[in-house]
Amino acid sequence: ILPLLMVSCVSNANIYLSRYCIERVFRPRKLDRCHPRELLECAFDIITPTGNSFLPIAETIYTICEIIQEFPVLQERNYSIYLNHTALLKAILLHCGIPEDKLNQVYTILYDAVTEKLTKREVEAKFCNLSLPSNNLVRLYRFIEQKGELQDLTLLLNTMVKQKTGVASLVKLGMKDLEETVGLLKKLGIKFQISINLGLVYKIQQHNGIIFQFIAYIKRRQRTVTDILAAGGRYDHMISQFRSPDAVGLVPSAVGVSIAVDRISSTVLNMEEPFTVSSCDLLVVSVGQKSMERAINVVQKLWAAGIAAEIMYDWSQSQEELQEYCRCSGITYVALIYDKEGNHVKVKSFERERQTEKRILESDVVDHLAQKLRTKFYDERNSREISDNVSTQNLKGSFSSNSGLSESHGTVVIPNVCIIPPEKLSASVRRRYEAQVQTKLQACFTNFPLKLSEVEILAVDLPKETIIHFLSLEFDDQTFYTTVKQLMSRLPKQRYIKQVCDEIYTIKIEKKVPILVLYSYKDDYYKILF
C-alpha cells in the first residue's frame, strides 16, 4: 500500500485512481523472531479527490460481491457483509470508561477477542493488566456482542447520545455514515445480508470511517469456524501522514480492501468439478500456411473491437486435440480459416455438452462473435439472477414443486412447463429455463383464479417477432393446419416451427386446454393463446 500512498501524496488534488494489485504479503506469527507467514493477497483501492461521497466504499463492497458471484462454491457459503465505523467503536470504548491513552491497546485486545484468539477469561486478565475495572468490560461486551440492522441497534446507540458531548458527536457521525452506506449498497442491488457489527475491529490504526468484512460460518472438523474472505475500509488519514507539511488543498479520500486470494484458490481447487477461467474469448486457427495472413487480419480486427483472441501456432493439431485444448483453457469459440474456403470462416462453439459449427463470411466474424458474447453475458447474468430469485422465493415458501407442477400456498398458480428445444438440452440447462419461466410468469398468474388443468406453458427457442405470428393461429380442428401453412410460409426454421405447432395442436385441440402461454426463453417474451 506504501507506493499507492506515495502516488496519492505527490499527485494533484484532482486524482481519480482505481487499482488492483496481487502480491505476496507477510503476517507475524505468535512466536517472536519466527519467519512471518507468507500469503498471496489481492488489494483493490479507490482514490478520489474528496471524502464527501460514500460511493467508493459501496463500489468496493460491490466488487467483492461480483467476485463471489463468479464462483458457485463461494456462493454456497452464504457470505454476510459486516459493517462498523471507527468513530462508533471509539464512542463505545469511551462510553464504557476506557481512557483515550489506552484505546490502541484495547483495540488490539478486542481484535484478538472477536477473532477467537483470546477467550473471555484471557480478555479479563489483559484488562486487569491495564488497570481497567472488570465492570468496564461487562459494559463493553454489552455493546460489542450486538449485530443487526441499523434501525434495530438505534435504541442501544441512543443511550450514548445522552452522555458526553464528544461521545454523542462520534455516535451521530458513525450512524449517519453507516445509514448512507447501507442505502447505497441497497441501491446497487446487493443481495447479501448486510449487518452492523458493533464488535467488528479491523486495523483501527490504519482506518478512519467505515470498515467492513465479508464473513461466512463454515463447518470444519465438527465445529463451526469463521471464514473471512475480504476486509477493508477508508484510510484517508494515512495519506495525510505521508503528505508534505507544505501541501495545500483537500486530502484525497482512500478506500481499500484486502481479498484472500489463497482462500479462493484453495476453495476452487477442492471443487468436485474443475473450474476454468479463460482470458481468451476466441481461438483463431490457420489451417494451412496460405491462410496465416487471413488469420492475422481476423485477429487484428477482433483486438480492435475489444475482443480477446489468440492464434493457434501449431495448425497441424487434430480436431480432438484442438477441442481438448479449448476445454482445458476455457475457450468457448474457435475460428477455423482454411486455404480453400475463400472469404468464409468456420466458427465452432463448445458450450457445455453442446458443439455447433457455422460457416460465415470473414467480414462478419467480429459482429457474429460480439453478438455471441453479449448473449452469453446476458444468459449468465440472468441465470445468476434467476437462481437468486428462485432460492429467495423457495425460502419464503412462495411456491413449491411437486410432480412437475408448481403451485403456491395461496392464489399463485405456476402451471406445468413444457420445453421444446431445437436441439437436445442438458439437464442443468433445462432446469435453468424452467426456473426462468417460473420467475417471469409468477407475477402474471398472481391474480389468476385458475386451476392447473386450465392453463399450460410452452417454452420455445424462437425470437419475439416469431412468437407474435402465432397469434394468427385458429384453434379449430378443421382450420388449424390451414393457418399453420400460412404461418410457415412466412417464417424460417420450417421443421422446428412444425414441431411447435404439433405440440400446440396436442394442447389446444386434443387436451382442450383453454389457455396456452407461448414463452420465448430466447428473448424472455411471451404471448397468451386463448
In the listed set 219, 246, 269, which residue is the last one of a domain according to the structure?
A: 269
pLDDT of residue 83: 93
Residue 389 in this model has a pLDDT that exceeds 80 = no
For 112-131, what is the mean pLDDT? Answer: 79
Residues 240 and 337 grouped into a single domain: no
Residues 89 and 20 grouped into a single domain: yes
Residues 76 and 214 grouped into a single domain: yes
The DSSP element (H or E) to which 304 belongs, if any, is helix 292-304
Q: For residues 306 and 308, what is the distance between their CA atoms, to the nearest angstrom?
A: 6
Residue 445, domain extent = 417-529
For 468-472, what is the mean pLDDT? Answer: 85
Residue 407 in any domain: the answer is no
Residue 252 in this model has a pLDDT that exceeds 90 = no
Residues 290 and 244 grouped into a single domain: no
DSSP, collapsed to helix, strand or coil, labels residue 71 as coil
Q: Which of 83-92, 271-280, 309-318 has the lowest mean pLDDT?
A: 271-280
pLDDT of residue 82: 93
Residues 235 and 296 grouped into a single domain: no
Return the closest-CA partner of residue 113 out of 103, 123, 125: 123
pLDDT of residue 61: 92
33 or 113: which carries more pLDDT confidence?
A: 113
Residues 174 and 89 grouped into a single domain: yes
pLDDT of residue 94: 86
* C-alpha cell read off for 188: 446497487
Helices (H) and strands (E) in the chain, counts: 18, 20
DSSP assignment letter at 487: H
Q: Percent of the chain at pLDDT above 90?
A: 4
The DSSP element (H or E) to which 123 belongs, if any, is helix 120-129
Q: For residues 335 and 366, what is the distance between their CA atoms, to the nearest angstrom?
A: 11
* C-alpha cell read off for 164: 458526553
Residue 275 in any domain: the answer is no
Q: How many CB atoms lie within 10 A of CB 76?
A: 11
Residue 128 in this model has a pLDDT that exceeds 90 = no
Residues 70 and 179 grouped into a single domain: yes
Residue 397 in any domain: the answer is no
Concatenated DSSP letters of 500-521: HHHHHHIIIIIS--SEEEEEET
Return the closest-CA partner of residue 204 out of 117, 108, 280: 108
Residue 396 in any domain: the answer is no
Return the closest-CA partner of residue 499 out of 458, 451, 448: 458
Residues 265 and 340 grouped into a single domain: no
Residues 132 and 200 grouped into a single domain: yes
Q: How confident is the model at residue 31 (pLDDT cuts 50, 70, 90)?
A: low
Residue 276 in any domain: the answer is no
Residues 356 and 462 grouped into a single domain: no
Q: List Cβ neighbours of 390 (8 Å cut-off, separation of 6 or more).
A: 435, 438, 439
Round the average pLDDT of the chain to a whole number and report it.
77
Q: How confident is the model at residue 406 (pLDDT cuts 50, 70, 90)?
A: very low
Residues 339 and 457 grouped into a single domain: no
The CATH number of residue 175's host domain is 3.30.930.10
Return the closest-CA partner of residue 210 out of 219, 197, 227, 220: 197
In the listed set 333, 359, 382, which residue is the last one of a domain according to the structure?
A: 382
The CATH number of residue 351's host domain is 3.40.50.800
pLDDT of residue 401: 34
Residue 212 in any domain: the answer is yes
Residues 90 and 11 grouped into a single domain: yes
In the listed set 269, 291, 306, which residue is the last one of a domain according to the structure?
A: 269
Return the closest-CA partner of residue 178 out of 196, 159, 205: 196
Return the closest-CA partner of residue 178 out of 58, 266, 72: 58
pTM: 0.57
Number of domains in the chain: 3
Concatenated DSSP letters of 385-445: HHHHHHHHHHHHTS-EEETTEEE-SSS-EE--EEEE-SSPPPHHHHHHHHHHHHHHHHTTT
Return the closest-CA partner of residue 209 out of 90, 112, 99: 90
Residue 270 in this model has a pLDDT that exceeds 60 = yes
For 111-127, what is the mean pLDDT? Answer: 79
